[in-house]
Structure 1
Amino acid sequence: MKLKMAVTPERIQQIVGRYYGVKRIREEEGEFEVEVEDIDFYPEDYFSMLVSDLRKMGYVAFTKTKNEIIIIEEPERSKRSLLKILMAIATVITLFYVGYSYVSSYFSSSLLMSFLETLIYFVIPVFIILGSREFGRYLGMKRNSMQYSFPIFVPDPIGMGTMGSINAPNVAYPSKRAMVESSLLSVVFGFLVSLIFVIIGGYLSLMQRIPVSGVRSPILQIGSPLIFQAAMRSFVPSDGVLFPTAYAGWVGIIVSAFNAMPIGFLDGGLISSAMLGKYSQYVSYVAIVAIIGLSILYPSWLILLVFVLIIGIRGPEPLNNVGRASGYVKILALSIGIIILIGLVPIPFHTLPPQFSVSYGQTQFVVYSVSANISTNVSCFLNVSNHGTSPITPGFSISPAIPISVKSSSRSVSPSTSQRFNVTINFTKSAPGFYSYVISVFTSTASELVNIHIYFIDLTENFTMKSNNPLMENATVNDTAKIPLASDTSSTLMLNVYAFGSSGMDYHVVVQNAVTAVGENFPFVLSGGTSFLILVNSTIPQTVYVIVYDQQYQGDVAVINFVNTTNTVHR
């Protein structure tokens, strides 16, 4: 607690007289009313120096009129220390949360290395930007004889990781110039350092050509500020994949511009309050309505708005709120609008129509084993077509996770062209069954999903198709292959018959002479010593796979290759 010194009218006369011509002093219950010459005749920073001198004694001064200064004991103010610490910790956490998914995809590193890269390339740059904002504020406060106070950082777990900081000084601003200078320097420092990180990230991207096949980059999904677009055109590679440090710079530009909005204790709100006084609250109302409207498109705007509303819609007025603002201060105040116009983006993230499409061939496969333990490769091809105006480098992933490899003549797909990619799945399973996977093909703007189904059949001795298990046979297009299925056991089996073609269409499979159980998942009844007939037909050249299996996925497989020739070999 600050010790307050006992003061007398003579002492007040001495202190105020250093800066202003004193006409009269009146004391009433510890409050001093000092009549002075017109304050506007004196330099604006005189009042800041007066406040600084009085604060050392535990007193504070504010203006009542242009000729009257009120001096009272300085009240104790809440420093919100715990809140500020908790908010800073939360901001670090949300920056890691938001940055990790992008950085880990960009570098394709291990868990520990991705965490370290997120810290170095994203979290630290963002905090340097936030720190530069606070350094600008510190310079502005020091220039105006104020004591710097720590801000309230605002986390953003659903968007950029942070929404910046709220200026919540422990002491009042002494003058309009103090409010404008400290707020403007905060915005400008953050804005310029953000742009520097955009440039640094661009150079790092050029120097470290990361061999990643594709990154879900926000570069084509974000609404970019004008200054960001100008820097990106010169320093960011043509494939549009932002280096994480450049992404941190983008976050800094958006945050700096948003904090320039004329609302409450935001930097723009302080400038508005300094220049407009009590009328600044009406500007805040307009800005709040605009932010609420924008939050429909991007909900994170509401996060910062909530904190602004908690602290106050109307920013504080300076202790000297009657003096005229100089031309220098007015120019500084107006320049904040330039930052808003250049850097503010109403919708930081938005969805673009996909700039590519994926076509594919066979997506169903059957593998088989006589020991219920298999390790084999399943290959499929995907054609990626580029409908955009820039080359793309598609990436591939699979879920659930399983090893895959991708090969093609070129990893890049030029505009208005297509590229074939052969995707090989290393299928290793020990239990027969039905397995479903989703291959994700993604670029910097969008992704497409391809469903892959694999039937793992344990070949059985309980029944056979003809005399082979599995059966491999050729047939003629539009001809019908007849495949008898005979029981080799005395047991009664409940079976299912499933078929698919390599083209996915234009084939027909019919089961004849079979006893069926209506409503069962395995409807075909094969009693001991009996058989039924499977008829397979295709109207186009393709391979048709027929699977007969029981509840344990024990069964038989027939592979019928339909060709355009009369030289069909039957076995």
Structure 2
Amino acid sequence: MDIAPAARAAPRYWVHLLLFLLTVVTTFTSYLLYFHFQRPYSLDEVTAEAAQRALSFSLSLLAILGTHEMGHYVLARIHRVDTSLPYFIPLPVLGVGTLGAVIRIRDRIPHRNALVDIGAAGPLAGLVVAIPILYWGLSHSTVVDAPQVPSRFPGDASLWAYGREVFAWVMAKVTHAPPEPEPVFNGVQTIFGDSLLMQGLTRLALGPLPEGKDVLVHPVVIAGWFGLLVTLLNLMPMGQLDGGHLAFALLGRHAHWVGRAMAAVLLFLTLFVTASWGLWLLVTSKVVGFGHPEVLEPLEPLSPTRKWICALCMLALIGCAMPVPLRQVVS
């Protein structure tokens, strides 16, 4: 006797719409809190212009994130893999107001060619939207005077630097050394890391920047920058990240060694460049992991076109890479 498979639950479109609208609100308010308001905060600063800038940031960011997930969704449906529409994840007050968006894949991937198509479609689709947004935003940005901030190795925010400070504090307590005078701070400046892709787009939109100059960016540039960061994180060849799908399609069961090598790179960056990479190292190694489920038809060969797509995604990973995504500089 054949048993009919259980019927799928009807799509709840209102859930997807509600989460999208909530994420518009949280990203809108996060822009005002972290990129517009002067401290202490004042509601008098929420002018029509400020609201317009916050909305342009919110919609640009969600366009990039939404296109990324829709790339996965469309290619999954083309390969007849059952999947959900994107779920946006609002994050009130913290960060940029969202943890991104996800889709739920309910079926096994049929073969390695489909795995490449589905895995690569997200980051490549996101870049197709992010690059013109960044170029337009940079073209509408302003070049201003700015002091050069030197880079150090080990980085000031690395675990090595923090450990050195803790050691110095302990030794000062043990030896009863007189306390050093407290430095006077005028403010904290957030500096966004420059990837090769960001540097190229800046040069294309504004020309070479003279020494002592920087860019006061339009809000959509900040959204595009976070879009590049999301692309970078997803393209890392680890577990079931987008890059992990591509690595498994190319290398099969040996792909986990590539993921472990990437984890070693993240550990190095955490120890000697910036401790902020430690969170992503923890997420990828303990939550995402290094394994990957087998496809249904493992013997179907990977086509040459899919190998070129993997190479293109590798170039995208290199273009989006930035050793220090964000720096807090005290002046």
TM-score, normalised on structure 2? Answer: 0.67
- Cα drift, residue 184 of structure 1: 1.0
| 1:229 has 2:225 as partner | no
More strand as a share of residues? 1
Question: Quick one: distance in 2 between partners of 1:127 and 1:289?
Answer: 32
Instruction: Check conservation: 1:133, 1:185, Cα contact below 8 A.
Output: yes
1:470-511 per-residue CA deviation (whole Å, 9 max, x = no partner) reads: xxxxxxxxxxxxxxxxxxxxxxxxxxxxxxxxxxxxxxxxxx
Alignment CA distance shift 1:216-1:118 (3 Å): farther
Give the aligned residue type for 1:6: D
- Cα drift, residue 190 of structure 1: 0.9
Alignment CA distance shift 1:263-1:92 (3 Å): farther
Give the aligned residue type for 2:107: V
Aligned pairs for 1:18-33 within 5 A: none
Instruction: Check conservation: 2:83, 2:104, Cα contact below 8 A.
Output: no
Question: Quick one: distance in 1 between partners of 2:250 and 2:138?
Answer: 39
The runs of 5 or more residues in structure 1 that have no matched partner are 8-56, 59-73, 210-214, 353-445, 448-571
Question: Quick one: distance in 2 between partners of 1:292 and 1:84?
Answer: 36
- Cα drift, residue 252 of structure 1: 0.6
The runs of 5 or more residues in structure 2 that have no matched partner are 144-186
1:124 to 59, 68, 81: 59
Aligned pairs for 1:442-481 within 5 A: 447=331
Give the aligned residue type for 2:229: I
What secondary structure sits across from 2:302 in the alignment?
Answer: coil
Alignment CA distance shift 1:239-1:273 (3 Å): closer
Instruction: Check conservation: 1:141, 1:147, Cα contact below 8 A.
Output: yes
Question: Quick one: distance in 2 between partners of 1:114 and 1:315?
Answer: 48
Alignment CA distance shift 1:173-1:333 (3 Å): same
Question: Quick one: distance in 1 between partners of 2:7 and 2:248?
Answer: 22
Aligned pairs for 1:15-54 within 5 A: none
1:179-214 per-residue CA deviation (whole Å, 9 max, x = no partner) reads: 1012112111112211111122123336xx9xxxxx
2:237 to 250, 257, 262: 262
Q: Which has the larger radius of gyration?
A: 1
Question: Quick one: distance in 2 between partners of 1:216 and 1:125?
Answer: 26
Q: Percent identity?
A: 24
Alignment CA distance shift 1:194-1:290 (3 Å): same
What secondary structure sits across from 1:350 in the alignment?
Answer: strand
- Cα drift, residue 125 of structure 1: 0.8
Give the aligned residue type for 1:348: P
Aligned pairs for 1:546-561 within 5 A: none
Task: Tell me what 1:465 maps to.
Answer: none
Task: Tell me what 1:187 maps to.
Answer: 123
- Cα drift, residue 339 of structure 1: 0.8
Instruction: Provide the aligned C-alpha RMSD in A.
Output: 4.1
Alignment CA distance shift 1:185-1:166 (3 Å): same
| 1:99 has 2:74 as partner | no
Task: Tell me what 1:316 maps to.
Answer: 293
Instruction: Check conservation: 1:155, 1:162, Cα contact below 8 A.
Output: yes
Number of aligned residue pairs: give it. Answer: 273
Question: Quick one: distance in 1 between partners of 2:7 and 2:285?
Answer: 23
Instruction: Check conservation: 2:70, 2:86, Cα contact below 8 A.
Output: no
More helix as a share of residues? 2
Task: Tell me what 1:242 maps to.
Answer: 217
| 1:339 has 2:284 as partner | no
Give the aligned residue type for 1:103: H
Using CA pairs under 8 Å that are at least 6 residues apart, name the structure with larger relative contact order, 1 or 2. Answer: 2
Question: Quick one: distance in 2 between partners of 1:162 and 1:270?
Answer: 24
TM-score, normalised on structure 1? Answer: 0.41
